[in-house]
Structure 1
Amino acid sequence: MTTPLAGQLQGRSLVAESVPSSGGASFHGYNPIDGGALEPAYTSANIADVNSAVSAAVEAFEGFANISSTERALFLRAIADGIDASSVELIHRANLETALPMARLTGEVARTSGQLRLFASVLEEGSWVTARIETADPARTPPKPDLRSMLRPLGPVVVFGASNFPLAFSVAGGDTASAFAAGNPVIVKAHPAHPGTSELVGNIIKHAVEQSGLPGGVFSLLFDAGHAVGTALVQHPDVKAVGFTGSYRGGRALMDLAAKRVVPIPVYAEMGSTNPVFILPGALAERGEALAKGLHGSFTLGGGQFCTKPGLVFATEAPSFTNTLRASVESSSAFSLLTEGIAKTFGKSVQERSSLQTAKGVATGEGFSAQVSLLETDGAIFLADNSLAEEVFGPTTLLIHCSSRDQMLDAARGLGGHLTATVLGTEQDLAEYADLLRILETKVGRVIFNAFPTGVEVNHAMVHGGPYPATSDGRSTSVGSQAIFRFTRPVSYQGLPQSALHPSLQDTNPLGILRLWNGAWQTK
């Protein structure tokens, strides 16, 4: 299958300023609607390309880490501007490779450029470095030394593109943006499901690197349909951190590889979540039918391929709610999932739970299609079978009918780590289930009231993370400005003269940032 963009795509990795090696295995992207291969063919990178990319990143690190925050902000804005200017081409190619709707991809382009600009604004404001200053007191016994600390970048960061967000969690997505913002060169392992989209965005970043006068090693993009390139990147001794969004199996494999290195490194992995929803009695009585329709829209949005899809729903018996939900499912059209592998895994998972299926939508059997499915069970069965809490990636959810308040609380206590938990209720419900909120805040990174979890706002207060196994480190977030902290470490400087200090730590505070000065936050 050819496209108007085929002539712009070369099917090759972008290895800093060098020419990628030849001879690697070839692969194609596929159109999920009909399963047809998309041109051009892509050549996988090899170990020589990995070594070249990492060596170039090491060489670029010192310079990139020490340019001013203003210069890095201009670089991020240049990438954002390039993405916006190429939005038509990006949306067209991403639609061919993912079958995600044009409207969804239009929003994703805006989110991608928007989060780059968010990090640019963080850099321009400057307080993100968390400067802390303790001035000397030689008269104290023992004498107190002058100590000043701030956050500094780690070094070359490897980012793995995600399958379900070809732009916002991919080549120029949140991991890349936050790593760049902190001052780290980035090597992206492109996801093989959308190689054309990845190459287009990679060229935009490469152009921004050149336009900003930065060394080529600040960015590389490597292709591979298998695991060899990703494995080599994580094991390379000069790589300092990893960002990943994908399956539990994939994230766990990267965590294990990183832990086995001679010098282990952090892997910030988002690995899936069933995002439990708790529908409380008052809400069911007041608006049960509306909640059923809202839930259906949430777990089928994007073919159920959002990391925040509600996969577990806890509620007491409510026939009107249940019947409306079943009817909504039965009237649902099939979805084209992102890849053949995702479609097959979804079909297998639903089949394994076929005894729980109470409603299903229309089937087509074309391409990588999936039939919407509703699964149901009762609280006792759910509590007795841990496998029912596992994520099923695709358009389905499991409705658990709880016989009592205590059974619902027991289910909440037994949950593992998740990205979100949603409570649908009235103010009276909240008062009566106050202990539910206290339980849920220990299980997730975001507690939501009277809204469905699909959709993630990108701002300073967002936490898109959660306890293991939702993520590898529940203290971090992959969305929002706090994501920058993942790719930094604190460094303390003792007794240095003013001329040798970073401007963030100098007495005069030339950047005008917020600092902790002898225990008090101030900007003077």
Structure 2
Amino acid sequence: MAAAPVWSVDPRTGKQREQVAVEATAQEVDQAVRAARAAAGALADRTVRAAFLRSAAELLDASKDHLVEAADAETALGPVRLTGELARTSYQLRAFADIVDEGAFLGVVIDHPDDSATPPIPDLRRYKVPLGVVAVYSASNFPFAFSVPGGDTASALAAGCPVVVKAHPDHPATSELVASVLRRAAAQHGIPEGVLGLVHGFEAGVELVKHPLVSAAGFTGSVRGGRALFDAAAARPVPIPFHGELGSLNPVVITAEAVAERAEQIGAGLAGSMTLGTGQFCVKPGLVFAPVGADGDRLVKSLTDAVSDTEAGVLLDHRMRDNFVAGVAERAALPDVDAPVTPGAGSEHTVSPGFLTVPAQRLATDGGHDLLLEECFGPVTVVARYEDDAEVTAVLSRLPGNLSATVHLSAGEAAGQGRGAEILAELTPLAGRVLVNGWPTGVAVAPAQHHGGPYPATTSTSTSVGGTAVERWLRPVAYQNTPEALLPPELRDDNPLGLPRRYEGRQEL
């Protein structure tokens, strides 16, 4: 049987653009993984590794026009958004190059013998080593930043791990183009092109996570798809770490005092956040708590006006469009649910933004409205109107894990008056990032960033954005009573590589 073709599709028309590749067979997945493993040695030198990452960033920037054009044709995300995303991606590669140069991510700790301790401490030296080949599963909604050259790939390469990427079917041509750029960057530093493998097809993705030479996996996508791969990774004869980002509702609590102070501003900000990128951001606010009463009505009116002025948009593919139209219709049909701006189909290929309102009390118990507590991918949010703080607490206690949680406070509450600290304490167990007086869309690439959260937001406690994302692809090793001549240079007393380390209980920079 001939391998199935992989087509690039224009989401603005639903028509096939070109055949890009064919779906990889099990044998081809095996070849890609083995080629990646064979390339691992070329990443051992941190200087070479950092130079490779910087060259990749430079070549991506140099290919900007071509890459953005290809990505826009496959995703309809628009040149402005995609240009910014590509800049973020190249910045991320350079940031990981800096991390590789610095070396703190290796976590070097050296303890000399201490016979006076109980029990006695031998000579111990600890650092972190790469896990091995990493499987990366691309996201649909970020063809650069969470795809072939994205954070999972960049952090894995920074850790010294070769990568095999399972391309997302929504942007296969972009994936091929970007992979060729990264391979050219590798060649500039004598690194085999197998250091970055690329495969297409659903079955190829399943074969990849099961391959015995794959040591870890990173995933960004749906709960259903991510959970299936997570279970497959755990069911292997040798289970592997699976760092998956699956889904998030990203609740927002707006206090009565905040609404009284700036209802119109909050309503407009919410509209901009929930419709950004046609509602296709993983941190889109999907559930918003707003008080009943005149001030809450002002917020709803402001949100209504702003969303009504937002044009219909194209989702990443027609399957997502169909799911969105069906999902919002099912939610809108629930008792006591109103639609001040009805979300749904725009034209044949677009969707129109909107939002739903519901009494918060309906969500406080399992009364048939639990669908409103599930993520709906696209430009829609649910506004839960609450009578008192107890209703907010009751609903929050029923929420699953999230990437983000937000509270909007008044000036007095932000200064420590009222329930601000109490609300933060309620939100902290729910999410990996807690915001005050802002909106969750827009995830800065910074050392202190955390993009993750309790399940199903992610399947682990790690982050996929920021410098500490590299830790996912490393494991610690301790050497005990090992002669100096046999130690890796990272663990020698004279520190020939000049690494930051903890030496004899003191931090040395």
Q: So what's the TM-score if we normalise by structure 1?
A: 0.92
- Cα distance in 2 for residues equivalent to 1:41 and 1:410: 50
Q: Is 1:57–2:36 an aligned residue pair?
A: yes
Residue 465 (structure 2) pairs with residue 489 (structure 1): no
Q: 1:86 aligns with which of 30, 52, 63?
A: 63
Which residue, out of 259, 267, 271, partners 2:246? 271
Aligned counterpart, 2:21: 42
What CA deviation, in whole Å up to 9, does each residue of 1:23-82 have, x standing for no partner?
421031211111121123421111111111111122222x13522x12110010111111
After TM superposition, the structure 1 = structure 2 runs for residues 346-365 of structure 1, keeping only pairs within 5 Å, are: 346-355=324-333, 356=337, 357-360=339-342, 364-365=346-347
Q: Which residue of 2 aligns with 1:437?
A: 424
After superposing on structure 2, the runs of 4+ consecutive aligned residues of structure 1 that deviate more than 6 Å are: 139-142
- 2:385 is aligned to 401
For the aligned residues, what is the CA RMSD?
1.6
- CA gap of 1:461–1:143, structure 2 versus 1, over 3 A, is closer
Q: Comparing 254-263 with 499-508, which one deviates more in the overlay?
A: 499-508
- Equivalence for 1:244: 219
1:370 aligns with 2:347: no
Asked whether the 8 Å contact 1:280–1:429 carries over to 2, the reply is no
1:95-494 equivalence runs, <5 A: 95-137=72-114, 143-224=120-201, 227-317=202-292, 318-355=296-333, 356=337, 357-360=339-342, 364-367=346-349, 369-384=350-365, 385-430=369-414, 431-433=417-419, 434-473=421-460, 475-494=461-480
Taking a change above 3 Å as real, the CA distance of residues 55 and 426 of structure 1, as seen in their structure-2 partners, is same
AA partner of residue 52 (structure 1): Q
Are the equivalent residues in 2 in contact too, given 1:54–1:187 (CA < 8 A)? yes
Indicate the SS of the match to 1:40: strand
User: Would you say 1:506 and 2:492 are equivalent positions?
Assistant: yes
Q: Deviations over 1:292-335 (max 9, x none)?
A: 01100100000000001000001112111111212222332211
1:281: how far off?
Answer: 1.6
Instruction: Report if the CA contact (8 A) 1:465-1:476 is conserved.
Output: yes
How far, CA to CA, are the matches of 1:141 and 1:411 in structure 2?
50
Residue 17 (structure 1) aligns with: none
**Offset, 1:118:** 0.5
In structure 1, runs of 5+ residues without a counterpart are 1-21
Cα separation, 2, equivalents of 1:454 and 1:354: 25
CA distance in 2, matches of 1:480, 1:285: 36
Report if the CA contact (8 A) 2:325-2:345 is conserved. no
Gapped runs of 5+ residues in structure 2?
Answer: none
* Partner Cα separation in structure 2 for residue 229 and residue 140 of structure 1: 53
Q: What's the secondary structure of 2:496's corresponding residue? A: coil
Q: CA deviation at 1:500?
A: 2.3
Return the offset for 1:498.
2.2
Whether the 8 Å contact between 1:94 and 1:166 is mirrored in structure 2 is yes
Q: How far did residue 502 of structure 1 move?
A: 2.4
Aligned-pair distance for 1:407?
1.3
Report how far residue 363 of structure 1 moved. 5.2
Give the Cα separation in 2 of the matches to 1:354 and 1:445: 30
Deviations 1:447-475 (A, max 9, x none): 011111100000100000000010001x2
User: Would you say 1:33 and 2:12 are equivalent positions?
Assistant: yes
Q: What secondary structure sits across from 1:158 in the alignment?
A: strand
Deviation at 1:374, TM superposition (A): 0.8
Checking the alignment, whether the CA contact within 8 Å between 2:343 and 2:380 is kept in structure 1 is no
CA contact (8 A) 1:157 1:186 kept: yes
Say if 1:140 and 1:175 are closer, same or farther in 2 by CA, change over 3 A. Answer: closer
CA distance in 2, matches of 1:321, 1:142: 64
Aligned residues of 2:400 and 2:430 also touching (Cα < 8 A): yes
CA distance in 2, matches of 1:217, 1:496: 34
Q: Which shows bigger deviation, 232-241 or 402-411?
A: 402-411
SS at match of 1:175: helix
Q: Give the match for residue 44 of structure 2.
A: 66
Tell me how far apart the structure 2 counterparts of residues 187 and 212 of structure 1 sit (CA, whole Å): 19
Q: Quote the sequence identity (%).
A: 45
CA distance in structure 2 between the aligned counterparts of 1:304 and 1:41, rounded to whole angstroms: 28
Question: Which AA in structure 2 matches 1:193?
Answer: D
- 1:331–1:362 contact (8 Å) kept in structure 2: no
CA 41–140 in structure 1, closer or farther in 2 if over 3 Å, else same: closer
Which has the higher mean CA deviation after the structures are superposed, 135-144 or 165-174? 135-144
- Structure 2 residue aligned with 1:517: 503
Whole-angstrom distance in 2 between the partners of 1:37 and 1:203: 22
Contact 2:315–2:351 (8 Å) recurs in 1: yes
Amino acid at match of 2:470: I
Q: Secondary structure at the match of 1:442?
A: helix
User: Do 1:162 and 1:245's aligned partners in 2 also have CA atoms closer than 8 Å?
Assistant: yes
Tell whether the 8 Å contact from 1:332 to 1:362 is kept in structure 2 after alignment: no
Rate the CA distance shift 1:362–1:50 in 2: closer, same or farther, 3 A: closer
Letter of the 2:418 partner, please give it.
E
CA distance in 2, matches of 1:27, 1:132: 48
Q: 1:170-216, CA deviations, whole angstroms, 9 ceiling, x for partnerless residues?
A: 00100000000001010001001101110110001111121110133
Contact 2:234 2:240 (C-alpha < 8 Å) held by counterparts:
yes
Deviation at 1:495, TM superposition (A): 1.6
User: What is the CA distance between 1:143 and its match in structure 2?
Assistant: 4.9
Greater CA drift, 334-343 or 422-431: 422-431
TM superposition shift of 1:497: 2.2
Amino acid at match of 2:13: D
Residue identity in the other structure for 1:309: K
Q: For the structure 1 residues 321 and 139, does the alpha-carbon distance in structure 2 shift closer, same or farther, using more than 3 Å as the test?
A: closer
Distance in 2 (CA, whole Å) between partners of 1:143 and 1:451 is 52
For 1:494 and 1:98, locate their aligned partners in 2 and report how far apart those are by CA, in whole Å. 53
Q: Structure 1 residues 435-444 or 115-124, which shifts more?
A: 435-444
* Greater mean alpha carbon deviation, residues 127-136 or residues 23-32: 23-32
Per-residue deviation, 1:111 = 0.5
User: Secondary structure at the residue paired with 1:157?
Assistant: strand
Quote the Cα distance in structure 1 between the aligned partners of 2:500 and 2:331: 54
CA–CA separation in structure 2 for the residues paired with 1:139 and 1:426: 57
